[in-house]
Structure formats: structure tokens, C-alpha cells
Structure 1
């Protein structure tokens, strides 16, 4: 592979979090015992993480804007999360956009979505639909899934409020996502964390690629390349470059973007390691293509 090119002149980090555990309750970060987590032991991030911490982690990279994604606050207080982040942004200059939370199947979803949308910094919603633990267990039509009529009724409210949808689900549910995108084409879907290709066996990766192809056939679906670490394994280009290149090849440079998922992904690598890996994996791309992946696509999709 060619050597890594120069860093881009500007970066938009399309997915990160901040939290103040002294001021706000996040059950997964505060309560005991800790929940089962895909990166294993996450005790290192069970502490406050604020813009100064994020800036320290991203030092050396020209991060000019960023996207905050909901961080699993106490769910009864979801609107307060958006309001708190808007205040943090006003004080600290980041994040630049917010992806808030709403239970799309809840009878009160329309009211909450309208309230989120009234906060200027809010651009979209993330609500993780019901998902199977493995590809073999996946079944269509489950309650709370993307097939659920009640869930879809809430989803239909996104376009009415000018909101996009961040989808975090394993790749074995991307057939449902493709149908959702086809049926409701006015809503932009942004798949989180590369659709979670945790199993790196040849068979699983082949199925992951086919699932991405199914999703990418819908023009209103984009992909965030992030969250590709594995428990107990340090983030390394050798283990992740093929994932990055395959994802870009399937979605194209116009519908893919890079994101840190910090501080969560600090469990597997520091910011420089991960973003240098993104850079090295795209060394054969033009500077214009890299700017799309590191900056321009996030600016367009999150309306920055």
C-alpha cells in the first residue's frame, strides 16, 4: 500500500459524545453493575468527558466541526439532553450538530420530535430498533423493529420535522433498513458504526458486504465508518483497512464519512491511531475524495 498522504485541511468528526456524570444521569455509565458491552470492559470511560477532553484527544487533527450523537441519558429526560448539549455548544464551540433520541414507537413520539426539532442545533434522531443477537436469529416483523407499524408511524414524523435518522443496527438487519428507505424516501438514513462487522470470518464478512450492498442500493442511505474496533484488540490498520476500503467501495465516496465514536472507541485506540488508519486506508484516493470522507459529506448530510 502507498504511504499515508497528508492530513486533510479540515475534519468534521461525524460521531462523538460528551457527558457530565456529575450533572446528568446516564444509567450505563453510572449504575451498577455495568451492562454487557461490545468492547468488553468499559470502566475507563465511566467518567465525565467534556469538550476540553475531546479537544485534548483530537489535538493534532484539524477538527473544525463535530456531530454529537445521543449518549443514552435517562430516557425519561430525552429533551433535556438536547437542551444541555445546545448549551455546551454555545459555551465551548462544539459540537456543531446534535443527533437526539426519541422512542419512535412511543405514542408521544410526534410531540418529542417536534420539541427536538425546535432546537436549532438538532439535525437528526437515533433510536436503535429491536435487533437480533446474531444473523441466525434475525427475523423480520418483530415488535420494535423497523418493520413494526407503530415504529414506522413515529419514523414518518422525522421528515415532517426536517430530521435525518441515524441507524445503529447489526448488518443482518440492513434488508429492513433498505425497505424502510425505499418506502419513506424523503428521510435521510445514516448507518452508524459501519453496520457493526464484529465477526471477521470470511463467511461473515461476505454476508456483511452483501448487506451493505443491499442498503447502498437506496440513494437515501449513507454510512459512517466508525466503531470497527474489537474487544481486547488494539485498533490497527492491518485489521481494519480492508473493512474501510470495502465500505467506501460499496457506498462510494459521496455517501461515506469517517467518525471517531469518542470517547467510546478510545477503549481500542487513540484518536490519532484511528484517524491515521483512515488516512492510510485511503492513500490511493484523490485529495478531493479524502476531503469528502473526512469533511464534505458530513457537512452536507448534517447540514453544517
Structure 2
């Protein structure tokens, strides 16, 4: 199976400072994450993905030391030159910080950074959402930084619970020339009928914006193994909501190794869309990622 993995990480926790892996454990959506508090490098990834023809990949920032966002860019560039992966990178940047302009301009001058990820402030439930809260997508400081993305040729990877996707739609409509990519399928962690109804409505609202795409990834549930039975319907609904041209499959490795092996996840994607035309499958597994993240598959970058 030919793939471009649209969302994965590498880290060397012996050489670099990643607070969430090095310091006191954070409240993590999969629960205990001690199993991934170890180095995870290109050789580990290739071993995990060995069943597949990986023709490209997208490295997503790893919550590296926030005082040194460009340090991760330099480290990833060295990995790319040595290992041939990743193809491109989504870097860390804090849109509401004083150094946003400096950091975004530096990222825009690289040859392999395609966008940034800044996790906006989020509420813990739909009823606690406060529009325009400091650090949220409606915050004026956040939007000032967001306005600098398009001039620097950068897209925006958005990781936020589904109950903030209305704010994402407002943001997308205000900045029509900036590509937004929703991470981890909008985080449908609440699989109750009410939770899925809320997730579905929020995804439909986001899909109204042509400049929003979605990565189908991060579908694990706390205390449960990853299965097609649990996740297949969400995969298919996401494709139906956004359309085949705006969805990408991704591993979220090594994080999702907490719930399944790499092969289980990608073969599960394959089973979920097995009845789709090959042209649609190609888009989902690699072609959309190549287009959205501007990866030249023939050259590998």
C-alpha cells in the first residue's frame, strides 16, 4: 500500500527538551503514556511502517521547548538530510506571542516547513465554551498572528475538540486564503449518541469552508484497542462530510502506538474504504497529502 503519512512525530528525548515527555505527566487523552517516553526516530518509524510503501511523510511539531521553537526546525532538518524522512514539517509557533512575526517569517524562509500548529485554548466541554477567550481562535491577539500565515506561505494545523469547530469555521471564513487542516478527526472521543451528534454537526459546520481539510487520525479511545468496528463509521462519515478531496489518512505515531500497531491502523483505513474506487483510495492514502502539504512524490520533497 502506497502512503504519505500526513501526521507523525520523531523525538530524541535524550538530546532535546520536550516538557510533556520529560517533566511531570500531563492529563493525556489516552491515559498512561509512559510507553512512549522513549526515543522515537526514523529507524523506529520505518520498522513500524515496513509493511507499506511510504513515499512521503509530514512531521508535526512535538511540543518541543516553547522557548526555542526554531530549535526543532533545525533538528528536523538534520534528520531529513540524514534519513530522507520526513518530507515536510509543520512547526511550532505561538500566534499570540510577541515573537510571532519573527518566528513565522523565519519559518516561511525554509524549504520544508509547510505550516504551523498552535493548539488554541479550549474548553473542557461544549457548555463551557467562551467565545473570544484569551488564547482562543476568537482572540484578537491570536488572529493577528494568524493573519501572518498566508503572507509567509504557511498553513495551519488545528488540534482542538469538536466543540470549537464553529470558531474554526469563523476563522476560515475570515482568512479564506489560509489552509486549515483539522487534526485527529475533530477528536470524537465521546462516542455516546449525543456526543457523536455534536461531533457530526460541528464537522459539517467546518466542512462548509472550502479552505478546511481534515486528517483522519487519532481515533484511539482510552482503555480500548483500535478496531474497525469502533472507528469505521467515523472514518466513513468524515469522508462523506468533507468529501474525498479534503481528507487524509495519518498514523499519529508513535502516540497512537498506545492503542494499536501501525499496520492495524493503516490496514483498518484500507478495510473501511475497500469498496471505494482506487482513485479515491489514492487520494485518501497519499495524493491529498501530497497536494495539501506540497510534497513532490517523485523527488520525495
When the two structures are superposed, what TM-score results if normalisation uses the length of structure 2?
Answer: 0.97
Distance (whole Å) between structure 2 residues aligned to residue 91 and residue 286 of structure 1? 37
Q: Does 1:197 align with 2:188?
A: yes
Instruction: Provide the residue aligned with 1:155 in structure 2.
Output: 146
- Name stretches of at least 5 consecutive residues in structure 2 with no aligned partner: 296-301
When the two structures are superposed, what TM-score results if normalisation uses the length of structure 1?
Answer: 0.96
Deviation of 1:159 (Å)? 0.2
Deviation of 1:157 (Å)? 0.3
Distance (whole Å) between structure 1 residues aligned to residue 77 and residue 53 of structure 2? 22
Distance (whole Å) between structure 1 residues aligned to residue 26 and residue 121 of structure 2? 17
Q: Which moved more, 1:136-145 or 1:257-266?
A: 136-145
Q: Does 1:270 align with 2:261?
A: yes
Secondary structure of 1:59's aligned partner: coil
Q: Any residues of structure 2 matched to 1:69-218 within 5 Å, and which?
A: 69-218=60-209
Instruction: Provide the residue aligned with 1:45 in structure 2.
Output: 36
Runs of 4+ in 1 over 3 A off after TM superposition: none
Check the 8 A contact 1:83/1:119 in 2, yes or no. no
1:58 to 36, 39, 49: 49
Instruction: Provide the residue aligned with 1:3 in structure 2.
Output: none
Secondary structure of 1:115's aligned partner: helix
Which digits, 9 at most, give the CA deviation of each residue in 1:139-159, with x for residues without a partner? Answer: 211111000011000000000
Instruction: Provide the residue aligned with 2:228 in structure 1.
Output: 237
2:19 to 10, 27, 31: 27
Q: Does 1:15 align with 2:7?
A: yes
Which digits, 9 at most, give the CA deviation of each residue in 1:181-224, with x for residues without a partner? Answer: 00110100000000100000011101111100000000000000
- Name stretches of at least 5 consecutive residues in structure 1 with no aligned partner: 1-6
Deviation of 1:132 (Å)? 0.2
